[in-house]
Amino acid sequence: MTLLDASGDPIRRRVVASPRPQSAFLRGLQEPLLWSWNVALREPADEYRRAWIDVTTRTIDALHNSGWLAGGVTQATAAICGPFMALNAKPDPSLFGGEKEAADWARQVERRFEVWARSPYACDLMMRQNLGQMCKQGVKGYFGTGEICGMVRYVKRPGQAHGTKIQMLPSTRIPQAAQWQNPPSVQGVVLDRDGAPRAYWFKTVDPIMMMEGEERLVMARDRFGRPVVIHIHDSPPTVVRGISPLAPALQIVRQFDQLSNATLTAALLQAIFAATLESDLPTNPDLLQLFQSEEEQAIGSQPTGVTGEFNSFIAAKAEWYKSLPFNIDMTKHGKVLTPFPGEHLEFLGSKHPNAEFKWYARFLLLEVARCLGITYEQLTGDREGATYSSERMGSAENHLIVLDKRQGMAGSFMQIAYEAWLEEDIELGFTQVPGGLPAFLANRDAFCRADWRGPPKPTADELKAAKAMQIKLNEHIITREVACADEGLDWQDVDDQRARERDNAEALGLDPDPVQSASPLGGGGDVSGYDPDDADTPAGKRNQSLFVRLSRIEKAIVEIAEHLEAA
């Protein structure tokens, strides 16, 4: 059937097109929450340059005034550096003609370097800290400014053959905009055509008067390639300066401070106004005087001269309270009150902080802990609800971050100091290398190849971790070098110490290795380490007794751990 209009022509239907399906990021910006989210796309170098001063000043202020943040930085620094970063030299064996020759040379260099690095008089320009302490100060500065800054200086001192010295400097000494722009710089760093740092502008500061002087230009390296300026940061490509890793958490730190202050204020107000007197009658000053001391009543009393039945009633109530054994005195404790008939005295309890405060405070501190690279438990010490599995997984995940910062930040600082010292040690003739100093300068990276060991990986259960390590060693999944590195030790140092202890025990007629013979975790393939055929010998009886006791201790520890985990 065809519909006609008034003129008799057929009516054409309008076809309304349906919305065309589409798929796009941010849903084509159709969400109202995204309409006001308009940002500019800039170069990373420009982002860092614009935000460096604002972020750095606020981060340093937060580190000075936030106990949570300062403690978290100390915890993260201890996990990264430990007491001292140990050198594990690994030069290219092809330079020495074999693995053994390279290993012997590395052992000699490690011992000589440790003597220099552990002496503040030898390694610190200001003679205050050893190299490990300077490394920790540099890492702490990294959390504040995103950079580790210093210089390699040369100062000869009596009683020291080496003149190589390390001078730690705050990265704020590198000006964002140098006053003297010849040569020009980017955030105080002079770059070559490839974008590599060629020189740095530094603000000079008098160490005694602490007054700023002129800005001077310092070359990044000398003509032999020896590092002069220590400037380490973890930044995107094309960025010449670092920025604090705590930048994303600065707002959270302020929010936590506001939450704490508001909660404390509410708790104090509720503690001050802690009692109310309920009555069906109008409030009268004479009634309120019962809560005042005699001095306060004398100051606030004023004769009114008003008489009447109501005043007589109030006077009767006042006499009632006066006749009690004790008057109410809010400045003293232990008073007893019997209220007038029809009145009720109620003491109010503080409702702050409540359960919501702890949940929200934990939520805020979790974000701070993530920026620091540590767990919430490590930041706060609060292990309520934590289990062995959660502690183990948290430590394992964050340990990867620790290793990254250890090699990228602390290890880089130690490597610069090591390369500068080794060059001088070779030049002085104390360390010999094939080809002498010219060969070292031509193959600096191959000679200076090294790893840096820090503190061991934390474990929630030492017994379970030791058993897992023993299985991996027995199945040849890992080597003793890897096992010792997990404990922050050098396998050669461990072997040397074991040999010395064995020789000393044999010289004294003692059992050379009682732990290995009696421990349930030792003994190679036999997990018990106990041979029943030797039960009649004195050593066998001693081992049997030790084995039984250690087995009982081990069983008890496992039962306690399982009970705690189940609870």
C-beta of residue 216 within 8 angstroms of C-beta of residue 169: no
CA atoms within 13 A on the CB side of 405: 29
Given pLDDT bands bounded at 50, 70 and 90, which one contains residue 528?
very low
Q: Which of the given ranges, 9-18, 140-149, 352-361, has the highest pLDDT on average? A: 140-149
Contact 136, 81 (CB under 8 A): yes
3-state helix, strand, coil split of the chain in percent (to 5) is 50, 10, 35
Contact status, residue 213 vs residue 204, Cβ threshold 8 Å: yes
In this predicted structure, the answer to whether residue 323 has a pLDDT above a threshold of 90 is no
Q: Which long-range contacts (CB under 8 A, 24 or more apart) does 190-193 make?
A: 190/217, 191/240
DSSP string computed for 68-100: HHHHHHHHHHHHHH-S-PEEEE---GGGTTSHH
pLDDT tens for residues 174-199?
Answer: 988 765 667 888 888 999 988 899 99
If you ran DSSP here, which 8-state letter would residue 302 be given?
A: -
- Joined together, the tokens standing for residue 50 give 């614009």
Residues above pLDDT 90, as percent of the chain: 31
Whole-number Å distance between alpha carbons of 31 and 205:
54
Check: CB of residue 212 under 8 Å from CB of residue 203: yes
Rounded mean pLDDT of the chain? 79
| 68-86 mean pLDDT | 90
What confidence score (pLDDT) does residue 29 get?
73
What pLDDT, on a 0 to 100 scale, did the predictor assign at position 147? 94
Query: Between helices 388-405 and 67-81, what is the axis angle to 10°?
Result: 70
Write down the H helix ranges in 343-410: 355-372, 376-380, 388-405
pLDDT, position 511: 74
List the beta bridge partners of residue 147: 233
Other beta carbons less than 10 A from residue 170's beta carbon = 16
Q: Say if residues 376 and 362 touch (Cβ distance below 8 Å).
A: yes
Contact 151, 218 (CB under 8 A): yes
pLDDT tens figures, 252-281: 888 888 888 888 877 777 666 556 656 665
pLDDT at 538 over 60: no
What pLDDT score was predicted for residue 177?
A: 76
Burial class (CB in 10 A: 0-12, 13-18, 19+), 372: buried
Does residue 523 carry a pLDDT above 50? no
- Indicate if the pLDDT at residue 352 is higher than 90: no
Mean pLDDT on 90-113:
92
